[in-house]
Structures are given as structure tokens and as C-alpha cells.
């Protein structure tokens, strides 16, 4: 089961966080929120497998703290 660990304000930010998580070995999916899902201005959910959610959240916390 996939779990939302963060909602990024734009597609480009979501992709930045996705790359950081992938570099740490975490599986990641992105899912746009809203009607115009191709727009960069929509919020994007960052999802990881439930078993990796805690680790992924810690990684994002470090990224957001810097």
C-alpha cells in the first residue's frame, strides 16, 4: 500500500524531493492533485510504500530543514 508522506506545492518541487528520496533508495510515486494535472502549479502528493514511510519522512525532514 502506498502512503502520502508530503504534499508539494508544485510539480518541480515534488520532482526535486522525489530525486532525493530515490538517491536514498526509497521507492517514490508522484500524484498530481487537481483538475489540470499537467500544470506545474498544482500540488503534488509524494507517495512511498507504507513500509518505507517513516524512513522517507525522516529524509524529507532533513531536506526541508536545510
Q: Where are the domains of the chain?
A: 2-65
Q: 29 Cβ partners below 8 Å, 6+ apart? A: 2, 46, 47, 48
Give the pLDDT confidence score for residue 39 in this predicted structure. Answer: 58
Alpha carbon 4 to chain centroid, angstroms: 8
Give the pLDDT confidence score for residue 34 in this predicted structure. Answer: 77
Q: Which three cell numbers stand for residue 53?
A: 514511510
Whole-model pTM: value is 0.86
The CATH number, out of the four listed (3.30.70.260, 2.170.190.11, 3.40.50.10490, 3.30.420.40), of the domain defined by the range 2-65:
3.30.70.260
Give the pLDDT confidence score for residue 63 in this predicted structure. Answer: 87
Q: How many CA atoms lie within 13 A of 44 on its CB side?
A: 20
Q: Per-residue confidence of the chain (66 residues) as pLDDT tens digits?
A: 999 999 999 999 999 999 999 999 999 999 999 766 555 678 999 999 999 999 999 999 998 887
Q: 48 Cβ partners below 8 Å, 6+ apart? A: 2, 3, 5, 21, 26, 27, 28, 29, 56
Give the pLDDT confidence score for residue 47 in this predicted structure. Answer: 98
Amino acid at each position: 500500500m502506498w502512503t502520502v508522506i508530503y504534499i508539494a506545492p508544485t510539480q518541480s518541487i515534488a520532482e526535486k524531493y522525489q530525486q532525493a528520496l530515490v538517491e536514498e533508495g526509497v521507492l517514490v510515486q508522484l500524484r498530481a492533485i487537481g483538475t489540470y494535472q499537467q500544470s506545474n502549479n498544482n500540488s503534488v502528493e509524494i507517495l512511498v510504500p507504507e513500509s518505507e514511510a517513516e524512513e522517507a519522512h525522516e529524509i524529507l525532514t532533513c531536506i526541508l530543514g536545510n
